Structure 1
Amino acid sequence: MEYAKTYTVRWADLDPNIHMRHSAYTDYAAHTRVQFLAEQGFTMARFAQLGIGPILFREDTRFLKEVGLGETIRVTAELSGLNEDGSRWNIVHAIYKEDGRLAATVTVEGAWLDLRARKLAVPPAEISAVMNSISRHASYQDIVRTPREA
């Protein structure tokens, strides 16, 4: 199942060139990820109860088409990588213009942080199950960690 959210570009999303500013693309991608998790029962309050939260190691945005004020965009979230214990994950967000043309992609590499110990953590099984439910991007590859990364 593809997960997607639709947004209308706001005045605050623009830059001096009168098109969507670079950081707005990543804001919409992040909001889409957070909404997906919240809809699965993992709100910020639930993460606080569990003592775990998502973090990013890397974020890469590719800009393909301009997006302007008042345009409707559709932002998808697809899993592009997951390791065996669910502790590391990669997601690709596609941002589409109203006419269906791809405007940008935002690719993120992330993990789960133990909020008390402030160290990387293996998520509870219920979070791993949710992450496994996200549709797979065409580029999906299992994340295999080398002993050095462990």
Structure 2
Amino acid sequence: MKNIFFKGQVLWSMIDANRHLRHSAYSDLCTQARNNLMIHIGLSVNECAKYGIAPILFKEETIFHREIKMDEEISVAVEMTKHTISNNRFSITHFVYKSDGTKSATVNVDGAWFDLQTRKLTTLPENIVKLVNQIPKSENFVEE
């Protein structure tokens, strides 16, 4: 496994009535992994705010492969699958793994960069593009 940006234990609060990880918890875990990735490349929430930008999501898709139960240790890998040449839209895939390496879920998101002042989509400044280019790319990465 590579590009791991979150490792942790599944908490009781993340479990549903079927005694496995609830569907929305996958989203929460992947959001934390993306946040950790952004900190890793030097683009934390506070750093984004300095530039008046933030990432937003348009679509999130979860494909479930194997169930995860309470107290299991999991890890989340993150990689960019698409980024536009105009530096305003992106796609990211997350892989949620059980401690034995079994892939439990694949979570795909499509998003864009948002101007916090105008409340509209924006392109990234060149110095931010350099940071975003550090995000691990998938084998089938596409630049449009």
TM-score w.r.t. length of structure 2 = 0.93
**Partner residue of 1:47?**
48
| Cα distance in structure 1, aligned partners of 2:90 and 2:50 | 22
Aligned counterparts of 2:53 and 2:26: Cα–Cα separation in 1 = 26
Aligned amino acid, residue 110 of structure 1: G
8 Å Cα contact 1:93/1:106 also seen in 2: yes
- Contact 1:2-1:134 within 8 A present in 2 as well: no
Residue 74 of structure 2: aligned partner:
73
Alpha-carbon distance in 1 for matches of 2:10, 2:111: 26
> What letter matches 1:74 in structure 2?
S
1:96 equivalent in structure 2: 97
Q: Give yes or no for the alignment of 1:20 onto 2:21.
A: yes
Question: More deviation in 35-44 or 90-99?
Answer: 35-44
Unmatched 5+ stretches in structure 2: none
User: What CA deviation, in whole Å up to 9, does each residue of 1:7-29 have, x standing for no partner?
Assistant: 11001110011100000001111
Amino acid at match of 2:79: E
Aligned-partner SS, 1:37: helix
TM-score (norm 1): 0.89
Aligned equivalent of 1:140? 141
Residue 42 of structure 1 aligns to a residue whose secondary structure is coil
**SS of the counterpart of 1:133?**
coil
Residue 3 of structure 1 and its aligned partner are, at CA, apart by 4.1
Deviation of 1:82 (Å) = 0.6
Structure 1 residues without counterparts, runs of 5 or longer = 144-150
Q: Give the match's secondary structure for 1:28.
A: helix
Identity rate, percent: 36
Asked whether 1:10 is paired with 2:11, we answer yes
Aligned residue identity for 1:125: E
**What is the RMSD computed on CA atoms of the aligned residues?**
1.4
- Name the residue aligned to 2:33: 32
**Partner AA of 1:95 in structure 2:** V
Q: Which residue of 2 aligns with 1:85?
A: 86
Output the CA distance in 1 between the equivalents of 2:127 and 2:12.
38
> Is the contact made by 1:77 and 1:92 (CA closer than 8 Å) also made in structure 2?
yes
